[in-house]
């Protein structure tokens, strides 16, 4: 492997479980801090978080500096942003609302170099963060050292699960449980732990096993992440930076007010 500084794909492909922090606050220092506390991956949420291109560029480098793997959830169907974040040095891209083969194919096209996709060449910053002398060394195995996470979060995605999981260039199925609950209940519920969601998680695990893909999941807290890791999920995003901040503040105030 010509990019030894990139660790996420190697760990996941070796069967390890990886826990990722989830960051929506547009501050690279926050990402670096949570990485230094021990998270081996940090996900920047550009879809619902407050990141722009400049802050994401800085944060990706900060996460690498802290010794963790940066992952980016791009805005809805912004395929140009997929390539851009990979060029900036992201080790994984989470693409929301991959509901069928059309969205999956479009994602692969910009996430993978030929012959798998049609990602354009220009990964100068990624090559620097990968600690290679020439971006050609990064490009040579980038298809294997970066992870494409297709989000499964609708009834349509479940209906097309086998086709999405079987598509070359899709490395992982990443479940968004809140949106999935909303979709499965026709908008009546947002219970990410509902029986319908639990049944869908089992289907995702089976599809990943069949097609040798990495099962991934967003979890609202660490307890859920540990439980789902035992069930078989191997990339688990945990809570959020804002949730960490609120919990820490509440804990301190509890002491002050006791």
What one-character DSSP code corresponds to residue 168?
T
Distance between CA atoms of residues 105 and 74, nearest Å: 16
Helices vs. strands in the chain: H and E counts, helices first: 13, 8
Catalytic residue among 48, 64, 124, 211: 48
Closest of 32, 29, 23, 19 to residue 67, by C-alpha: 32
Closest of 94, 52, 98 to residue 70, by C-alpha: 94
Which residues have a Cβ under 8 Å from the Cβ of 50 and sit 6 or more positions away? 24, 25, 26
Active site includes 211? no
With both helix axes pointing from N to C terminus, report the angle between 79-88 and 101-111 in degrees, rounded to the nearest 10: 30
Distance between CA atoms of residues 249 and 115, nearest Å: 50
Tokens, residue 242: 């804002």
Cβ contact 8:147 at 8 Å: yes
Residues annotated as part of the active site: 48
């Amino acid at each position: 492997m010509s990019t030894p500084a990139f660790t996420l794909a190697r760990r996941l492909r070796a069967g390890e479980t990886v826990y990722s922090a989830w960051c929506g606050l547009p501050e690279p220092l926050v990402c670096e801090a949570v990485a230094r506390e021990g998270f081996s991956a940090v996900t920047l949420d550009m879809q619902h978080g407050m990141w722009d291109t400049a802050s994401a560029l800085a944060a990706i480098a900060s996460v690498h500096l802290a010794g963790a793997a940066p992952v980016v959830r791009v805005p809805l169907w912004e395929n140009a942003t997929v390539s851009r974040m990979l060029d900036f040095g992201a080790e994984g891209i989470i693409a929301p609302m991959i509901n069928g083969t059309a969205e999956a194919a479009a994602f692969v096209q910009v996430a993978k170099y030929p012959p798998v996709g049609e990602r354009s060449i220009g990964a100068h910053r990624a090559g620097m963060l990968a600690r290679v002398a020439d971006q050609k060394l990064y490009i040579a195995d980038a298809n294997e050292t970066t992870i494409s996470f297709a989000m499964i979060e609708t009834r349509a995605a479940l209906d097309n699960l086998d086709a999405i999981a079987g598509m070359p260039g899709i490395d992982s199925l990443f479940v968004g449980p809140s949106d999935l609950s909303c979709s499965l209940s026709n908008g009546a519920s947002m219970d990410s732990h509902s029986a319908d969601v639990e049944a869908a998680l089992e289907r995702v695990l089976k599809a990943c096993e069949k097609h040798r893909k990495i099962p991934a999941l967003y979890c609202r807290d660490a307890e859920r992440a540990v439980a789902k890791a035992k069930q078989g999920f191997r990339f688990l995003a945990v809570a959020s930076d804002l949730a960490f901040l609120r919990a820490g503040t509440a804990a301190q105030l509890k002491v002050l007010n006791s």
